[in-house]
Structure 1
């Protein structure tokens, strides 16, 4: 794959997980529906919950339950995790072409990092289960108490822990939250259109590029590295 990227400092690539590397639709929506049922709330069909994939869970439950009460939201998240931690996290599919794209980027000298709003305890199990962990120089996610669930705080943490200058990194994600977090930290961002964010949602945040396939992600990352 090309001549490699060892002669450029722009070589750090941060990846979102849900909707970017894997399709978590059955596990996330199934666990949300389980939580809503336990809370005695209306339970939408799974397809009506696609918007919940990506944003932090408490905010999504706040909208669905019509409350900002912390105790209520904590209960809902707790019910969600009852199902997700045992079953839902494995109801997931790696998008076609993802392993090949990650392998090619590493071969070209890029260092890859996972940066997901999902709690790290779950994210690490998912990438290990699907054989993706070996591609990453570091795995980063939120804490179970919600610390660093917002992408702005999470990416600031990654940059600090890894000693990465913002101009040397690019964030890859499928929702506006990924792009907003990147921009807030001075990091370039590439939006992927095959996940759960609409093209208009991504374009509104001013990414340097959009990628329609995992293969296209690799193309756009290489273009960013030499721009």
Structure 2
């Protein structure tokens, strides 16, 4: 067990690993509406997260006993088709699970949800590979109860174990199973509820939980991801969709852009893109981009990656190589040399390139809004940009993730996410 307090940790699902409130509450409300039942005045809907489902419907929402089966069936259908996709992994949980596994700690799940549903949720959000065992209720009416689920989740041999949860049922179950109860105050239970239920310790967020379970353990290095492509390729739209998906899966993400990304670099961006600066020479332009990048790397990118974050940048040095090296015909190697001190060893771990013909892309861009100084360049300029990108990809195929940008937005997003996850966490298998 080394210097860690526990060699086995069991987690609850809702309110502990996942912010489940929106998904569960929306499913409960829709089920009640379909049954023609009113939500009782003053009902605290947040309290339906955590307790057994039939208890929530009967005791919190006053559903008649004879309609509980109907309520449970309606809820289950709505939740599986809609509600579970409104979950999000709490910030810091993914990092904590990774640290636990990298340090050899046994990790399990014990939830009052059916086991197959627990498995599906964990796989959909790419967390299943962190867990040694998953225990949930069966579909039968003979429920295991939290204490028995915790016992079944634990390994055959362990020195000291903890159950982490956000409601009184988790703390009472831990006590009955003979393990420490760690109350997650960031979930749906109150401090008073958790303390009264016998919590051994309380934590206010996932970072505090990580420090409790893995004191002194180093946070793994983060990941630097950039997105590239010709103007009009849909890059920013895809970056937005990728950011949303990664955040929902619990990746701690820093979103940024180039040129810009921090106050000094944003001021340089204004100079570069200002249409009134038409007389700017190619050397000046290239050096301004490099200067902006140097501050961006120093102030934003490197600190975030070293802190374990995922940095997602809308453009990086490859844009300079393509636009100044190719478009301005300054040469790929010249622009790389100019940017070497700016990049300072922080080349992206992976780069998504949206491949689309520059003419098609520029037509899209011009139909969207007023173009900036570089977007007003000739078709020949943008043709050279595209050729330079293709040369970069040929030189470094291992880094680049090439996805066709001439597809429906949703399909591009699906392919980008799948390929990015392979780079971020090779063991992560997301299930639709």
Q: TM-score range by the shorter chain?
A: 0.7 to 0.9
Does 2:38 align with 1:42? yes
Residue segments in structure 2 that go unaligned for 5+ positions in a row: 216-432
Query: Who is 1:184 aligned against?
Result: 176
Name 1:163's counterpart in structure 2. 156
Match of 2:55 among 45, 53, 59: 59
Contact preservation (8 Å) 1:56, 1:150: no
Could you state the TM-score of these two structures normalised by the residue count of structure 2?
Answer: 0.47
SS in 1 for 2:68: helix
TM-score by length of 1: 0.86
Q: Which runs of 5+ in 1 are unaligned?
A: none
Deviations 1:6-50 (A, max 9, x none): 5889401000010001111121111111111122210369x8310
Distance 1:57 1:8, change over 3 A: same
Q: Distance in 1 between matches of 2:5 and 2:190?
A: 32
Asked if the contact 1:148–1:154 (Cα under 8 Å) also holds between the matched residues in 2, the reply is no
For 2:190, the equivalent position in structure 1 comes to: 198
Deviations 1:84-128 (A, max 9, x none): 111111110011111101111112221100111111121111110
Q: Alignment RMSD, CA only?
A: 2.3
Q: Does 1:143 align with 2:135?
A: no
Q: How far has the Cα of 1:194 moved from its partner?
A: 0.5
For residue 204 of structure 1, report the CA deviation from its aligned partner: 1.1
Instruction: State yes or no: 1:207 paired with 2:199.
Output: yes
* 1:83-98 mapped onto 2 (5 Å cutoff): 83-98=78-93
1:63-82 map, 5 Å:
63=59, 64-67=61-64, 69=65, 71-82=66-77
- Count the aligned residue pairs: 214
- Which gives a bigger RCO, structure 1 or 2 (Cα 8 Å, sep 6+)? 1
Once the two structures are superposed, the pairs formed by residues 208-227 of structure 1 within 5 Å of their partners are 208-222=200-214
Which residue matches 1:132? 127
Distance in 2 (CA, whole Å) between partners of 1:44 and 1:65 is 7
Q: Distance in 2 between matches of 1:58 and 1:157?
A: 23
CA spacing shift, 1:146–1:170, aligned 2, 3 Å: farther
Between the aligned partners of 1:24 and 1:178, the Cα distance in structure 2 is 16
